[in-house]
Amino acid sequence: MRSWNRKLCVVGAMIAAAVSFGAAGQAVMDLADGVVRKVDKDARKITIRHGEIRHLDMPPMTMVFQVKDPAMLEQVQPGEKVQFRVEKSGGAMVLTEIRPVR
Ligand SMILES: [Cu+2]
């Protein structure tokens, strides 16, 4: 029981650190929130209606993202709430990470 509590404590401290990091605006690659509108496996693109993405200076909108790894196309479905990470790569917005919020 004791070591279990200690593990929980470490996880809690890590989450607290991550949250305060984000709140200070220092985290460049913040996770963004959105809802998947469309998954295009042929074009390797996901359409997401997303909230504000501060590090990219983007207001909420619906837009199309390329995916870094085609396996990401299997991880989400239209209508799902997701959290995702996006980076600018040669003028294109590329999803580097995406996961459903359940
Ligand atoms: Cu956008």
Question: Between the CA atoms of 18, 23, 26 and 27, what dihedral angle is there, to the nearest 10 degrees?
Answer: 50
> Into how many domains does the chain fold?
2
50 with 76, same domain?
yes
Higher pLDDT, residue 73 or 11 = 73
Confidence (pLDDT) at 27: 47
49 with 23, same domain?
no
Interatomic CA distance for residues 102 and 37, integer angstroms? 17
37 with 81, same domain?
yes
Confidence (pLDDT) at 29: 60
Ligand 1 centroid to 37 CA: how many Å? 13
Q: 70 is in which domain, residue-wise? A: 32-100
Ligand 1 centroid to 90 CA: how many Å? 16
Name the pLDDT band for 10 (thresholds 50, 70, 90). low
Ligand 1 centroid to 15 CA: how many Å? 27
Ligand 1 centroid to 12 CA: how many Å? 31
Residue-wise pLDDT tens digits, 19-57:
545 444 444 567 999 999 999 999 999 999 999 998 888
46 with 87, same domain?
yes
19 with 36, same domain?
no
Interatomic CA distance for residues 2 and 100, integer angstroms? 33
7 with 51, same domain?
no
Higher pLDDT, residue 42 or 11 = 42
Task: Report pTM.
Answer: 0.70
| 3-state helix vs strand vs coil in the chain, percent to 5 | 30, 40, 30
